[in-house]
Amino acid sequence: MNHTNTKPQQPQIAIIPLTAFGLGTWQVYRLQWKTDLLAKCEDRLVRPPLPLPPRVDPAAVEDFDYRRVYVTGHFRHDQEMLIGPRMRDGEQGYMVVTPLQPITAEQSEAPTASGGDGTSTGSSLWQRVSGFFWGSSDNGGKDTAISAPQVAEPPPPAVLVNRGWVSKKLGDQKDRPESLPEGPVTVEGMIRKPWKKNMFTPDNRPDIGEFYFPDVEQMASLTGSQPIWIESTMEPGLLEVLEMQRKGIPIGRAAEVNLRNNHAQYIFTW
């Protein structure tokens, strides 16, 4: 009579602790990486906002993620894009993304002061514009305003501003006229790398005005903007939030770092 041997083989048993050890070690490295990243983002966030220059180097955006900036210009409401659905306090709505056309250097005198302690965190974000540029130099890593010959510059391209959340029932612009300022506005926000789509997120359908996630390159191409994403920040009180929600004025986010860090939990799991 034959008996099937159901006893696990020794090599198979040995693989289990080795695999767990390897995964745990990998999570230790991931924890250190995420901790360092959070520290860098928090350091950028606490600095006073810098003026956003007319032209930005997209390759340097990662080094300035969560850096606070401000920019004055005119919203192009005719190119507004709604990303959704996005939930807020249990209510369905959209994130309002509008290109902002900055006011040119000729209309507004260029700032020359560095922000806060003036320190930088990586490669140059600010390129030469209208006689000055902000950048990282060998001067102790400080952002320095460097003089340059005055040259005629073309009008600066727009930047993409995530203005914040509006209720789905007020998605149509005609239902929220107070959310459409016509004159110059100053936006304070953070340079961000926006969230990415997951495997369940549909592809955007710009041909019919449907956006499910922020594809910055795509949105910039559609609107003739720079592929720069700024998230408008604000800290309104409860009554102000309720009034904004009633009028359909986009509610921006708080200026805070919201990166997940679950790697310590994963270490103990493995």
Whether the per-residue pLDDT at 43 is higher than 90: the answer is: no
Whether the per-residue pLDDT at 108 is higher than 70: the answer is: no
Confidence class of residue 37 from pLDDT cuts 50, 70 and 90?
low
CB 164, CB 82: distance < 8 Å:
no
Residue 169: predicted pLDDT: 97
- Distance in angstroms (rounded) separating the CA atoms of residues 13 and 18: 9
Q: Which of 261-264's residues contact partners 24+ apart within 8 Å by CB, and which partners?
A: 261/31, 261/34, 261/35, 261/38, 263/27, 263/28, 263/30, 263/31, 263/34, 264/31
Per DSSP bridges, beta strands 91-102 and 185-191 are: unpaired
Residue 96: predicted pLDDT: 98
Contacts of 113 (CB under 8 A, 6+ apart): 145
Q: For 155, which DSSP code?
A: P
- Distance in angstroms (rounded) separating the CA atoms of residues 242 and 236: 10
Whether the per-residue pLDDT at 86 is higher than 90: the answer is: yes
Domain boundaries, the chain: 35-265
pLDDT tens digits along 217-229 = 999 999 999 999 9
Residue 63: predicted pLDDT: 87
Return mean pLDDT, the chain. Answer: 78
Confidence class of residue 113 from pLDDT cuts 50, 70 and 90?
very low
Residue 59: predicted pLDDT: 87
Sign of torsion over alpha carbons 261, 262, 267, 270: negative
Sign of torsion over alpha carbons 58, 64, 66, 71: negative
pTM above 0.75, yes or no: no
More confident residue, 78 or 47: 78
Hey, which residues does 69 pair with through a beta bridge?
50, 189
Mean pLDDT for the stretch of residues 109-118: 39
Confidence class of residue 17 from pLDDT cuts 50, 70 and 90?
low
Closest to 216 measured CA to CA, from 187, 188, 194, 191: 194
251, burial (CB in 10 Å: exposed 0-12, middle 13-18, buried 19+) = buried
Mean pLDDT for the stretch of residues 188-195: 92
Task: Count CA atoms closer than 13 A to 190's CA, side-chain side.
Answer: 26
- Distance in angstroms (rounded) separating the CA atoms of residues 264 and 261: 8
- Distance in angstroms (rounded) separating the CA atoms of residues 222 and 204: 12
- Distance in angstroms (rounded) separating the CA atoms of residues 242 and 254: 16
Confidence class of residue 252 from pLDDT cuts 50, 70 and 90?
very high
Residue 22: predicted pLDDT: 60
SS (H, E, C) 75-137: ECHHHCEEEEEEEECCEEEEEEEEEEEECCCCCCCCCCCCCCCCECCCCCCECCECCECCCEC
Whether the per-residue pLDDT at 46 is higher than 50: the answer is: yes
pLDDT tens digits along 128-181 = 333 334 444 344 444 444 444 566 667 789 999 999 999 999 999 999 999 999
Range in 68-72, 151-155, 204-208, 217-221 with the lowest mean pLDDT: 151-155
Residue type, 179: S
pLDDT tens digits along 18-27 = 565 565 565 5
